[in-house]
Amino acid sequence: MQKFIQALIPAAAFLLFAQTLPASEPGEHAGKEMRGGQEGGHGGGHKGGHHGYGRPKGPPADIPKHIQERMSPDGSGINLNNSQIGVPGMVILAGTPELKNVTSLALMKNKLGDEGVKILSGSETFRHVELLNLWQNSITAEGAASLAASPHITGLKELILSRNSVGDEGTAALVNSANASHLETLNLDGNQIGDQGALAIAQSPHLSNLKKLDLYNNQISPEGLKALLQSEHLKSLEELTLIRNNIDIDSADALAKTKTLPKLKVLSIF
């Protein structure tokens, strides 16, 4: 197997069988501002403190002050990961004029839901955002559709939607929107996505700039893998993660031989 893979792409480090690790917080696909300085990908480490002790159990008492404290000195980034601001906090965030130049917005674990994402998507405050982290915010297809239809968030380069519930419908809405045309990194791990979602990604004409695609822990079968590997549109894709999907070793081996993606260097399936 190893000899086959090396022969298939002799100039690249092509990893077909990667060790399966327990899901953790986004890391290797996101910049430091997006992660709040935390390291670790799917196999991550401990987050802030020891074993989670000392984490806040509710929203900050003074949300506007908390927002100011979490902004970068130059006003280009804000890290609200694990702040649990909820929909009321998002209303405040969207109405904070100091955020008009923010390009990096980290909102992991904030209990936003679809309603919070709708507020985010409809606010002109975030028109310059390029890096958006919405990891584990109970977002469904409805929230994904509001991002896709946003008249303001149109220049995203990195979108993290890990551990939500966007499903096939939400995935299709996202990738079939012109708002996805600048995306270079898309994390949809743990989102109940099946072959229809994989097919939507493969057939999207808006993902020609996508370099990293994370579909870890979904419900994609060999049919979905085939569509992705033979996509005519994912011409810039360099890394594809499909660990913990419904793909068996024999099918993965056979389909890897049929891949047509010109820049794919890393394919992680097992």
Give the count of domains, the chain: 1
CB within 8 Å of 119: residues ≥ 6 apart: 87, 90, 91, 94
**pLDDT score of 35:** 45
**pLDDT score of 12:** 37
- Helix (H) or strand (E) holding 120, with range, is helix 113-121
Model confidence pLDDT, tens digit, residues 152-200: 999 999 999 999 999 999 999 999 999 999 999 999 999 999 999 999 9
Residue 126 is part of a domain; what is its CATH number?
3.80.10.10
Q: What is the pTM of this model?
A: 0.85
Mean pLDDT along residues 224-239: 98
| Phi, psi dihedral angles at 170 (to 5 degrees) | -65, -35
- What is the CA angle 30-36-38, rounded to 5? 75
Residue 250's CB: how many other CB atoms inside 10 A? 9
- Tell me, rounded to whole angstroms, the distance of Cα 178 from its chain centroid: 17
pLDDT at 36 over 80: no
Model confidence pLDDT, tens digit, residues 117-127: 999 999 999 99
Model confidence pLDDT, tens digit, residues 125-159: 999 999 999 999 999 999 999 999 999 999 999 99
**pLDDT score of 55:** 59
C-alpha Rg value of the chain to the nearest Å: 19
Q: Distance (Å, rounded) from C-alpha 105 to C-alpha 174?
A: 18
Domain membership of residue 203 as a residue range: 2-268
